[in-house]
Amino acid sequence: MVTESPPLTKESPSEPSEASRNIHRTGQHTVEVVSDSGEGAQKCGQIFGTVCAKMGNGVWTVEIIPAEIEPPARLPAGASGNRIRIGTGPVTNWGDRTNLMVAFNEQVLLARHRLDALEEGAVVLLEDKWATHDDEEIRDEWKAVMEELSAFSYRIIEVPMEERCLTVVEDPRRGKNMFALGMLAWLYDLDLELVKDQIAHAFRRKSEEVYGRNVQLLELGVDWARENLDFRIEVPREPTEQDMIVMNGNQAIALGAIAAGMELAAMYPITPATSVSHHLGEVFERFGGVVHQAEDEIAAAGVAIGASYAGKVAFTITSGPGMALKTEFLGLAVMTETPLVVVNVQRGGPSTGLPTKVEQSDLLAAIFGQPGDAPHVVLAPATIEGCFHSMITARRIAETLRTVVIVLTDANLATGVQPFARPELDPAWQAPPPDLSPAPEGTRPYEWDPRTGLSRRFIPGQPGGMFTMTGLAHDELSQVAYSSDTNQRAASMRSRKVAVFQGTLKPPKVYGDASGGLLVVGWGSTRGAIEEAVDRARAEGLSVSSLHLTFLSPLEPGIREIFSRFKKVMTVEINYSDDPDAPYITEENRRRGQLAWLLRAHTLVDVGCWTRVLGEPLRPGVIQRVMRANTTEGGTS
Amino acid sequence: MSAAGCSLFCSLADDEREFGMADYEAARPRWCAGCGDLAVLTSMQRLLAEEQLAPERTVFVSGIGCSSRFPHYMKTYGFHGLHGRALPVATGIKLHRPELEVFVVMGDGDCISIGAGHWVHATRYNMDMVALMLDNEVYGLTKNQSSPTTPAGYATNTQPYGTYLPAMNPVEATLGITNASFVAQTAEWIPPHLYATLKAAYQHDGFAFVRILQRCPKFTGDLFQQYIQSPDMVELLEHEAGVETPALHAIYKNRRRHDPGDIDAARRLAEMDDVVRLGIFFRDESFPRYEETRSLPSFTAEERISILNEEFDRYAV
C-alpha cells in the first residue's frame, strides 16, 4: 500500500516487511539534519543531498549555521546542520518547512521548531540519550521540550543513536552523523555505493581507517532504520540523460573563475565568501592560478588591481564589511580603467551583522558606494549555475569595458547545493595571454573612442606604451588634468561605455503572463522561491507574473515598458524596508527595498516592495501570501 | 632586485638598444625648488641607465603625496594609486608578472602611517622589488601636518604647540619584521651615498627597504640642516657587503664598519639616536621570497579545459 503521509500511530519498532509497504510517495520532501556544532550534521546533509542529486532528484540544500565555530553544547542558538529539499524535477529553493528531521538533541529540535522550520505532522528522528541522562538538569530540559512540543502534531521517534554508535567509536560526538546518514539512506532508498563514494571523498585527507569506521557507522544506521522504522519515503527520481554536476554557489564561483581563465584571486578571510578561496586553494595551482591571502581586505583589492594592470583580469572576493573596505580601490579601478572582478557574497548587515545568514542589502552600496562618479557594472546570478557563468561574463565585461564588475551573490547561493547541466567548456571564455606587442606610434593610453567611450589598454612590457596610470583626473595621455574641460570629457567617456554596454543587453523575460495584475520583481538568489510562488498563485487563479533581473547596473533595457503592462509592480527582496503601516511612516519618508529604490528612480513607476531581514532565504509560501494580499479584487485574472 | 632576467616577454631587439638617462625622463617635475625628491629622481634615472633596464619592463608604483608623483617623471610604466596602498598594487604586479622590475615610491605618511599594515606585510612577503620611503618627516602635499616621523616638539599645522609623541623609527621597526631581508638608510643630500644605496637595493634579491631622508624646503627645511652643516652628526655604516663610499671619506670622518649580516648589531645601531646612521643595516638573500614560493607553470586554454573537465568529474551526478 502507498500512503500519502507517514502513519502516525507506530511508535515502537515494527516488522521490516510492513515498512516496505508503508511507502509515502511525494513530489517533494524536505529533510533537515541538525546537531550541536561540531557533530557533523552538515557533512551528513551534504552527502545526502549530493547522492539524491546523483540518483536523479532535484535538490536544493541550505546550511543551518550558528554564529560560533563550536558554541556550548545543547544550546538552541548552536543548532548546526543542513536543510535538503528534494523533488521530482528541479528544485530551485529551500521551500517552506521541513517534513523530516534528524535531531541530535532536543534543544536543536526546539530551536528549529521556534524558527517555524517544521511542517505540521513532521517526523523527527531524535537522539534519545538525553531522556535518561545522568544529569537531572538535562533530563528536566528534555521533559520541558517534550512538553512544549506535545502541543504540536510532530511524530517524534526516539533513536538510540549514541548507544549504537558507541559499539564502533569511543567519542560519540564523532559518528552520529554517519549513523544519521545511514537512517536517511534507508528511508529514501539511496544507493549505498554512491553514499560510500561520497564518504570517501569527504574523508579524502584522512586515513583508510577513518573511512572504514564511517562506513561501519553508516551501515549501523541503515540496519537500525530497517529494523525499527515503519515507513519509507519515495520521491520519484528522473535520472536525466544530460550530464549534470552538483555543487554549491561558492564552488561554482571558483570553477567559473577558472573557466574564465583568471589566474589570480586575492582575498582576506570573511564569511560567507571564504570557501571560494578554499575550493580555489585546493585546485587553482593545477591551472597555474594563485590564491593570494592578503593582509587585509584593502590589500586584497590592491593586489587584484595590480595584477589586472599587469596582465590578465584578476578578481577579489569578499562580503559586505570587506566591500566597505575595498571601496577606495574600486574607485581607483574605475578611474584608471583597470579591469577588475569583485565578488561580494552578501550577508546580513550593516557592520558585522549576520555573518552566516543571507541578505540582499549591498545592492545600492555596490552600485553607488564609491565616492565620486564611478560608473561600473553590477550583476547578480540567481542560481548555482548562474554563479559559474557570472564569472565568465564578468571577466569578459571587465576586460572589454576596462572597468569594475561586481558580482553579487549571497549566503543562500554560497551554501546552497543544486545540480545543473555540466557546462560545455569553451576556450573562448578564457582571457587570452596579454598582448605585449609594441604600442603603435602615437597611440595614447586613454584614446577614448567617442562612439563607445572605449580605449585600448596598455600593459607593462609593451614597448612604446609607457605611461603612468593615475587615480587623479587625467587626459588621454594619462596626464594630470589641469584644464577645465578635461575632467568633464573623461567622466563622460567612462559613463558612455556603460551606456553602450547597456544597449547590448536583452530585455528580461517575464515569468508567467506578459501582462496582468501584479508583477513581482526580484534579483539574485530569490528567483526560485519567487517563481515557485508565482506558479502556486497562478494555480489559485491569481494574475501574477514575475521578472528577475541579472544586471542591476546598468539595468536591462525595456523594464519600463514591461512595467506598463501590469496594474501593480512590486519588488520582493531580502533587505530592510519600512512597513508602510509602521509608526511615523509616510509615503514620503518610507525607506523602501533597495531594488525598489533603484527601479523607482529609473522608471518613475510607483514600484512597491515587500522585504524581510529574517536571516533566512525567502519561503515560497510566504511570497505567495504577499501575492494574494497585493492582487486586486481577490486577484482573479 | 636581480638583473633583468630575459623572460618569454623579451624580444631580441632589446639587445640592440642602449639607454641613457634621458631615455627615462618624462614630464618635467613639478616639485618645489630645492625639494629633495629631485635628487632621488636623478639618482634613479642614473641607476636605470647604469643597469640598462628596459623602460617598458620597469614599473614605478607610488601612493599619494609629493614624492608619489615620482612615476609621472619617469619614462617607464607607472602606477600612481592610492594613499598608503602602493605596496599591495606592487605585490599584485610582481605576483602576476615576476619578470617585471618593480620600484615602489612612498612618503613617510604613505608608508608607515596610512599604509603601515602593507609596509609590515610587504616586508614579510620579501618580494623582489625596491621600496623607497622618501621621508621628509612631514605631510607636505596636504600642507604641513605631523607625520609619524616628525620629531617630538616640532610644530606643524595639526600639532601647532609641538608634535606630541616621539617620532617612529622606521629602520628599527622594519628590522623587527620577520623575513625582512634588506634595510638601509640614506640621505638625498649626499648623492654618492644615495646612488650607492639605490644600486645595492636594486641588486638585492628580495624586498629592499630604503628610507631616504629628504628635505622639504617648504615645511621642514630646518630639520636636516644640522646634518648638512655638521657631517660629524652623520655616521656612515661601511662594509664590503654593504655600501662603501670612499669619495665621502674626506667629509664624513664618522664611520663605522658594520657587517650587514649581523642582525643584532643592525638592530642596536638602528635603535641608537646619537647620530644619523646611513648605510645598509641589514641584508640577507637567503630568506624566502613570496613570488618564488608561488611560482607556477602556465597552461594553454585547451590544457585548462581538460584539467577543468577532470575537476568537473568530481562533481558529476
- pLDDT block averages, 10 residues each, chain B of length 317: 46 72 94 96 98 98 97 98 98 97 98 98 98 97 97 97 97 98 98 98 98 96 94 97 96 98 98 96 98 91 95 88
* Residue A251 confidence (pLDDT) above 50: yes
> pLDDT, tens digit, for every residue of A425-454?
999 999 888 999 999 998 899 999 999 999
Same domain (yes/no): A418, A541: no
Q: Check if B293 contacts A (Cβ < 8 Å).
A: no
Q: Is the Cα dihedral B210, B216, B221, B222 positive or negative?
A: negative
Same domain (yes/no): A198, A86: yes
Q: Check if A246 contacts B (Cβ < 8 Å).
A: yes
Q: Check if B85 contacts A (Cβ < 8 Å).
A: yes
| CA dist., res. B254 & res. B256, Å (int) | 7
> pLDDT, tens digit, for every residue of A317-326?
999 999 999 9
| CA dist., res. A310 & res. B9, Å (int) | 12
* Whole-number pLDDT of residue A316: 98
Contact A48, A257 (CB under 8 A): no
Same domain (yes/no): A17, A152: yes
Contact B258, B269 (CB under 8 A): yes
Residue A615 falls inside a structural domain: yes
What string of DSSP letters covers A473-513? -B-TT-PBP-SHHHHHHHHHHHHHHHHHHHTTSPPPPEES-
Spell out the residues 6+ positions from residue A426 whose beta carbon is closer than 8 angstroms to its own.
none
Strand partners, A452: none
ipTM given for this complex:
0.96
Q: Check if A247 contacts B (Cβ < 8 Å).
A: yes
| Per-residue pLDDT band at A636 (split at 50, 70, 90) | very low
| CA dist., res. A473 & res. A486, Å (int) | 8
* Whole-number pLDDT of residue B317: 78
Contact A518, A543 (CB under 8 A): yes
Same domain (yes/no): A440, A546: no
* Whole-number pLDDT of residue A549: 98
Residues B317, A288: C-beta atoms closer than 8 Å: no
Average pLDDT, rounded, for chain A? 93
Smallest Cβ–Cβ distance between B95 and the set A296, A307, A472 belongs to A307
Same domain (yes/no): A319, A341: yes
- Closest by CA position to A381, among listed A423, A404, A410, A405: A410
The interface residues of chain A toward chain B in range 280-299, judged by CB-CB distance below 8 A, are 283, 285-290, 292, 294-296, 298-299
Same domain (yes/no): A154, A263: no
Q: Check if A422 contacts B (Cβ < 8 Å).
A: yes
Residues A311, B97: C-beta atoms closer than 8 Å: yes
Same domain (yes/no): A200, A349: no
Chain A and chain B share a number of CB contacts under 8 A equal to: 196
* Whole-number pLDDT of residue B2: 46
Question: Half-sphere exposure of residue A295, counting CA atoms within 13 Å on the CB side?
Answer: 19
Q: Check if B5 contacts A (Cβ < 8 Å).
A: no
Residue A356 falls inside a structural domain: yes
| CA dist., res. B100 & res. B142, Å (int) | 32
> pLDDT, tens digit, for every residue of A35-92?
998 899 999 998 999 899 989 999 999 888 887 777 888 988 889 999 999 999 999 9
Residue A497 falls inside a structural domain: yes
Residues B92, A307: C-beta atoms closer than 8 Å: yes
Same domain (yes/no): A13, A117: yes
Residue at A273: amino acid letter? A
> pLDDT, tens digit, for every residue of A114-157?
999 999 999 999 999 999 999 999 999 999 999 999 999 999 99
Residue A239 falls inside a structural domain: no
Q: Check if B8 contacts A (Cβ < 8 Å).
A: no
- CATH number (domain holding residue A351): 3.40.50.970
Same domain (yes/no): A550, A439: no
Beta strand pairing call for B101-107 and A290-293 = unpaired
Indicate the residue among A385, A410, A429 that finishes a domain: A429
- CATH number (domain holding residue A196): 3.40.920.10
Residues B95, A290: C-beta atoms closer than 8 Å: yes
B272 to chain A, closest Cα gap in Å: 31
Domain count, chain A: 4
Indicate the residue among A207, A234, A261 that finishes a domain: A234
Residue A240 falls inside a structural domain: no
| CA dist., res. B102 & res. A534, Å (int) | 57
Smallest Cβ–Cβ distance between A436 and the set B9, B87, B90 belongs to B9
Smallest Cβ–Cβ distance between B304 and the set A251, A258, A301 belongs to A258
Residues A264, B92: C-beta atoms closer than 8 Å: yes
- Alpha-carbon separation of residue A126 from A56, A108, A109, A411, A572 (angstroms): 28, 10, 8, 28, 36
| Per-residue pLDDT band at A544 (split at 50, 70, 90) | very high
Same domain (yes/no): A518, A478: no
* Whole-number pLDDT of residue A54: 87
- Closest by CA position to B97, among listed A443, A314, A342: A314
CA B133 to chain centre: 5
Q: Check if B287 contacts A (Cβ < 8 Å).
A: no
* Residue A14 confidence (pLDDT) above 60: no
Q: Which residue of B has its CA nearest to A265?
A: B92
Same domain (yes/no): A40, A174: yes
Q: Report helix, strand or coil for A146.
A: helix
* Residue A581 confidence (pLDDT) above 80: yes
DSSP letter, residue B111: I
A458 to chain B, closest Cα gap in Å: 9
* Residue A2 confidence (pLDDT) above 70: no
> pLDDT, tens digit, for every residue of A152-189?
999 999 999 999 999 999 887 788 999 999 999 999 99
H-helix or E-strand spanning residue A277:
helix A274-283
* Whole-number pLDDT of residue A17: 56
> pLDDT, tens digit, for every residue of A497-527?
999 999 999 999 999 999 999 999 999 999 9
* Residue A587 confidence (pLDDT) above 90: yes
| Per-residue pLDDT band at A19 (split at 50, 70, 90) | low
Q: Check if A473 contacts B (Cβ < 8 Å).
A: no
* Whole-number pLDDT of residue B316: 86
* Whole-number pLDDT of residue B127: 98
* Whole-number pLDDT of residue A20: 62
Contact A344, A409 (CB under 8 A): yes
Residue A258: list chain B partners with CB under 8 A. Answer: 304, 308, 311
The total number of residues written for chain A in this structure: 637
* Whole-number pLDDT of residue B141: 95
| CA dist., res. A407 & res. A369, Å (int) | 14
> pLDDT, tens digit, for every residue of A284-336?
999 999 999 999 999 999 999 999 999 999 999 999 999 999 999 999 999 99
Same domain (yes/no): A455, A363: no
- CATH number (domain holding residue A588): 3.40.50.920
Nine-digit cell string for A31: 529533510
Q: Check if B317 contacts A (Cβ < 8 Å).
A: yes
Q: Domain of A249? A: 245-429
Residue A319 falls inside a structural domain: yes
- Closest by CA position to B185, among listed B286, B63, B273: B273
Residues B311, A298: C-beta atoms closer than 8 Å: no
Residue A199 falls inside a structural domain: yes
Residue A208 falls inside a structural domain: yes
Indicate the residue among A429, A455, A488 that finishes a domain: A429
Domains of chain B: 16-288 (3.40.50.970)
A394 to chain B, closest Cα gap in Å: 18
DSSP letter, residue B30: -
Mean pLDDT of the A253-258 span: 97
> pLDDT, tens digit, for every residue of A366-416?
999 999 999 999 999 999 999 999 999 999 999 999 999 999 999 999 989
A292 to chain B, closest Cα gap in Å: 9
